[in-house]
Amino acid sequence: MGQYRHSVQYYETDRMGITHHSNYIRWMEEARTGFLRELGWDYDKLEKLGVVSPVTAINCKYKMSTTFPDDVFISVSVAEFKGVRLKLRYVMENAAGTCVCEGASEHCFLDKNGNIVKMHKEYPEFYHILTSLAESGR
């Protein structure tokens, strides 16, 4: 999967000129939607199928500050997937390749009634893709 590129916007910085910490979580979401699009299973497709994927946990470890107008390159990988819970890992680097932030998010898949979707039965192609990526660490 390719890296997602985000350019730090002026409004994302605080009074000290440093990117506000909350934005890294938003960038993880941006990168995640791009990641799913690359897999051919973007949120639009999932929602048309009646599947939602709420965040059940989020983690973010800040390593180095970013400022306007830095470019941040975000890699997304499947840390774990066993059919119900999807754990994604994020590594954010600046243009020099230095890690500025590491994060993780956990998700489940629900139908429109809030019931857990059995991905291996209902969407075996997507299940296989996520399982393969988890096994390869990509």
Taking residues 1-26, what's their average pLDDT?
Answer: 95
Q: What is the pLDDT of residues 46-94, one digit of tens each?
A: 999 999 999 999 999 999 999 999 999 999 999 999 999 999 999 999 9
Q: How far is CA 109 from CA 15, 51, 80, 114, 131, in A?
A: 39, 6, 14, 9, 14
Residues annotated catalytic, as ranges? 14
**Alpha-carbon gap, residue 36 to 49, rounded angstroms:** 15
Nearest Cα neighbor of 44 from 52, 55, 32 is 52
Q: Which domains does the chain have, with CATH numbers?
A: 4-136 (3.10.129.10)
CA 100 to chain centre: 16
pLDDT score for 2: 83
pLDDT band at 138, cuts 50/70/90? confident
**Alpha-carbon gap, residue 106 to 6, rounded angstroms:** 22
pLDDT band at 103, cuts 50/70/90? very high
